[in-house]
Structure 1
Amino acid sequence: MFIENNLLIFFFTLTIAFVLYYIFYVIETPILRFNESEFSLKIISNTPKLTKLYFPTIWCFNQHLMLFLLMFRESKSKYFNYDKIEHLEMKDGGTTGLAWSGIQSVNHKDKTPIIVVFHTISGDEQDVKATVSYLRKTYNWIVVVCIRRGHGNLPLTKPIINTMGSTSDLKEQLSHIRKKFPNKDLFGVGISAGSGLLARYLGEAGAKSMFSAAVAVSPAYDIEKAFHRVHPVYSKIMGQRMINYFLKRHYQSFANVKGAEELIKVKTLGEFQDKLHTISGFKDKESYYQNSNPILVADQIKTPLLVLNAADDPICVNLNVMENLHWLESLKNTIHVHTKRGSHIAFYEGIMAKSWSNQLIGEYFNSVLKIKFNSKID
């Protein structure tokens, strides 16, 4: 009886300690960094997720548990049926794709925006289905995923792949979307590596960007540095994933490409990116990064932008964020949202582990729409 009582006291004390830790060290209000424009202040006041407490899921707020849950859910969740998947032939003969959701019931005269989603480094339209599904069900917006060449079920009609994507391809995809819907606002959402492609495009386009607003979730900023900072375990896993997903899956396409055999021997994600120029159409590593690294043009972004990072991200680590705050805070109409927890693109909230980031994306775009139709963006 004495032992049983002591065990009860021990577990009760442990539970109380855990709850207190969660209350004082896990629950938080996100840190916001922004240039104090009228637009940014209006967005913040109209977007509840930015100013209310974020309650990371109490049973998996550790960054590794949260990331594991994300991968587990992706592997077990049902296949998402898109209304239409288009294959687009690029000017150089390569093939990209567009996966549409909501296109069957589109009203060309209403103010419904088109949300353009950019998938992860080795993903496709299925790995962003949770975001697509949430935005469709909650807001009834049209959503289209830009599928990069070599990803998903797209045929590799030209032996060129860039894991970060190509802004040249993206411009052709966006032109195709714009021709279909010339009067609708385009909002961009980049997830992980997809945020790198989005940022690179926004920086290159500057004031000529086709997007009215954009969100970047878990960006890495300077990819020449960032991929070498990935947690060692994840770096090895992702390095092998790159080899299997791109080189082995498209082996026949790359069989005669110089440098492909060397690339297949790499051990980490950073090594893979450093040698990616051999299959991405660039003469050397320097040329690849010069034409692909979003950080080189990020300070030229003019599009209203929400950037979300978690300090405990083991993939796009916090050092990447801290090194870039000096220019990030100076971008007009840009808001950086920094949470202590959230891991990499997971950002689960509540007992049921719902996506806090998906809710934030929806709220942000909804706020942009309200401001846009009440006053012009500065």
Structure 2
Amino acid sequence: MFLDNIYLTLIGVLIIGFFLYYIVDVIEFPVLRFNDSEFSSNIISDTPRLTNRYKPTFWCFNQHLMLFLLMFRESRSKLFPYDKIEYLEMKDGGTTGLAWSGLDTANQKDKTPIVVVFHTISGDEQDIKSIVSHIRKTYNWIVVVCIRRGHGNIPLTKPIINTMGSTSDLKEQLNHIRKLLPNKPLFGVGISAGSGLLARYLGEAGSKSMFSAAVAVSPAYDIEKAFHRVHPVYSKIMGQRMIGYFLKRHYKSFANVKGTEELLKVKSLGEFQDKLHTISGFKDKESYYQKSNPILVANQIKTPLLVLNAADDPICVNQNVLENLHWLETLKNTIHVHTKRGSHIAFFEGFFAKSWSDRLIGEYFFSVFNLLSKYKISQTGNH
């Protein structure tokens, strides 16, 4: 009986200690960095999750547990039922895709926005279904996913793949979207590698960007450095994922392309990216990064932008963030949101581990949309 009381007391102390640790060290206010402007001030005051505490799921706030839960859910959850998937032939004969949700029932004439989503490094329209579903259910806006060459079920009609995507392909996709729905503002969301493509486009386009606002979740910034900083275990797993997803799946297309056999032997994600130029249409590594690295044009971004990073991200590590704060803090109409926890694109909150970042994205776009409507600004991408 005496021992039982001791055990119960110890268990009670451990539970109390755990929750004290959770309250003191885990729950937090996100750190916001931004260039002080009327736009940023209005957006921050109208977006609750920017000023309220982020409360990571108490049973899953470790970065590795969050990432495992994210991958487990993606593998087990039902496919999202898109209304329509279009295949688009690019000017060079390659093929990309657009996955639509809400297109069939949309009011073509109103000014509600279209949310354009950019998927992960080896993903497709299904691996970002969480944000697509949230936007559709919460705001009933049209959502379209830009599917890159060689991803998902898109046929590889030309043996060229860039894991980070191509801004020339993206421009053709956006032109197609704009042609279908010319009166609606576009909001862009990049998830992980998708944020790199989005940022590269925004920097290249500058004031001619087609987006009225954008969000980048877990960006890596300088991809020439960042892919070599990925946690070694994840880097090895992701390197093998690249080989299986791109090279083995499309081996018939790449079998006779110089450099394919060397790529099949790589051991890490960083090594795969350094040698990707052989199958992405570039003569060498330098040319590849020159045309694909978002950091080279990021300071030319003019579109209002929300950037979200977690300090415990094992894939896009915190060092990448710290090296780029000097320009993030001065870029007009850009808000950087920095949390201690959240892992890589997971950002779970609440007992049932729902996505805090999905809700933040929705709130941010809703605030921007209301601000544009308030001042009767009809923006279709020109700033």
Partner in structure 1 of residue 331 of structure 2:
331
* Per-residue deviation, residues 307-349 of structure 1 (Å, max 9, x unmatched): 0000000000000000000001110000000000000000000
| One-letter amino acid of the structure 1 residue matched with residue 135 of structure 2 | L
Matched, 1:243 2:243: yes
Quote the Cα distance in structure 2 between the aligned partners of 1:300 and 1:221. Answer: 14
Partner in structure 2 of residue 309 of structure 1:
309
Partner in structure 2 of residue 225 of structure 1:
225
Partner in structure 1 of residue 158 of structure 2:
158
Matched, 1:44 2:44: yes
* Secondary structure, counterpart of 2:53 in structure 1: coil
Partner in structure 2 of residue 97 of structure 1:
97
| One-letter amino acid of the structure 1 residue matched with residue 47 of structure 2 | T
Alpha-carbon offset, residue 108 of structure 1: 1.4
Matches within 5 A, 1:1-378: 1-375=1-375, 376=377
Quote the Cα distance in structure 2 between the aligned partners of 1:79 and 1:170. Answer: 25
* Per-residue deviation, residues 181-215 of structure 1 (Å, max 9, x unmatched): 11100000000000000000000000000000000
| Sequence identity percentage | 81
CA contact (8 A) 2:56 2:350 kept: yes
Alpha-carbon offset, residue 109 of structure 1: 1.7
Quote the Cα distance in structure 2 between the aligned partners of 1:60 and 1:45. Answer: 29
Quote the Cα distance in structure 2 between the aligned partners of 1:70 and 1:221. Answer: 22
CA contact (8 A) 2:110 2:183 kept: no
* Secondary structure, counterpart of 2:307 in structure 1: strand
Quote the Cα distance in structure 1 between the aligned partners of 2:37 and 2:273. Answer: 37
* Per-residue deviation, residues 160-198 of structure 1 (Å, max 9, x unmatched): 000000000000000000000111000000000000000
Quote the Cα distance in structure 2 between the aligned partners of 1:2 and 1:289. Answer: 67
Q: Which runs of 5+ in 2 are unaligned?
A: none
* Secondary structure, counterpart of 2:324 in structure 1: helix
* Per-residue deviation, residues 84-139 of structure 1 (Å, max 9, x unmatched): 00000000000000000000111012221100000000000000011101100000
TM-score by length of 1: 0.99
Quote the Cα distance in structure 1 between the aligned partners of 2:80 and 2:247. Answer: 26
* Per-residue deviation, residues 219-276 of structure 1 (Å, max 9, x unmatched): 0000000000000000000000000000000000000000000011000000000000
* Secondary structure, counterpart of 1:306 in structure 2: strand
Quote the Cα distance in structure 2 between the aligned partners of 1:318 and 1:2. Answer: 49
Quote the Cα distance in structure 1 between the aligned partners of 2:119 and 2:304. Answer: 20
Alpha-carbon offset, residue 2 of structure 1: 1.5
Alpha-carbon offset, residue 296 of structure 1: 0.1
* Secondary structure, counterpart of 1:73 in structure 2: helix
Quote the Cα distance in structure 2 between the aligned partners of 1:231 and 1:332. Answer: 32
Quote the Cα distance in structure 2 between the aligned partners of 1:330 and 1:279. Answer: 37
Deviating beyond 3 angstroms after TM superposition, the runs of 4 or more aligned structure 1 residues are: none
Quote the Cα distance in structure 1 between the aligned partners of 2:325 and 2:53. Answer: 23
* Secondary structure, counterpart of 1:104 in structure 2: coil
Quote the Cα distance in structure 1 between the aligned partners of 2:373 and 2:255. Answer: 53
| One-letter amino acid of the structure 1 residue matched with residue 370 of structure 2 | K
Quote the Cα distance in structure 1 between the aligned partners of 2:137 and 2:309. Answer: 25
| One-letter amino acid of the structure 2 residue matched with residue 246 of structure 1 | F
Alpha-carbon offset, residue 22 of structure 1: 0.2
Alpha-carbon offset, residue 373 of structure 1: 1.1
| One-letter amino acid of the structure 1 residue matched with residue 143 of structure 2 | V
* Secondary structure, counterpart of 1:103 in structure 2: coil
* Per-residue deviation, residues 57-101 of structure 1 (Å, max 9, x unmatched): 000000000000000000000011100000000000000000000
Quote the Cα distance in structure 1 between the aligned partners of 2:34 and 2:205. Answer: 21
Quote the Cα distance in structure 2 between the aligned partners of 1:109 and 1:28. Answer: 42
Quote the Cα distance in structure 2 between the aligned partners of 1:110 and 1:245. Answer: 40
Alpha-carbon offset, residue 301 of structure 1: 0.1
| One-letter amino acid of the structure 1 residue matched with residue 354 of structure 2 | K
